[in-house]
Amino acid sequence: MKGGKLWSLHLIAGFFLFFLLFGHITLMHFSAGATAPLDDPSSPLNWVNVLARSKDLIMTIMYTFFVGFGLYHGFFGLFGILTEINSLRPYRKAIGTLLVILGILFFLYGVFAAWYGYFTLQAA
């Protein structure tokens, strides 16, 4: 893959993904209650904690960026892999169009899920 604006965005997305993923892994896998059963109040997967994160504006914005950066980084990398295969080079434009459409659809779904929780979920 040659350098360019899209490739630079790929690197920038990877940079931000590093920090977002570090935060996610720290919260979900290394926090105090990470190994606790789901019904334990200290578990990050306990419904009360999930709801609290869903209602937190900063977490919702972080989830939105996480989905966007992750999809761009992943689909741009997949595009590079697929278009380096000689037999698929003639289909470069079709592959790019398909991945852009899928990326937009998945992004809209991820944003809907994050913001749905922020605006509509109620405490149990």
Annotated domain spans of the chain = 5-28+56-120
Predicted local distance difference test score (pLDDT) of residue 114: 93
pLDDT in tens, 106-117: 999 999 999 999
73: pLDDT strictly greater than 80: yes
The CA distance from 44 to 27, in Å, is 7
CA distances from 62 to 20, 87, 105 (A): 8, 39, 19
CA angle 106–44–16, rounded 5-degree value: 45
Would you state the structure tokens that stand for residue 22, as one six-digit string? Answer: 């570090």
Rounded to two decimals, the pTM is 0.87
pLDDT in tens, 80-105: 999 999 899 899 999 999 999 999 99
Structure confidence at residue 121 as a pLDDT band (50, 70, 90):
confident
Distance of alpha carbon 107 from its chain centroid, rounded?
A: 8
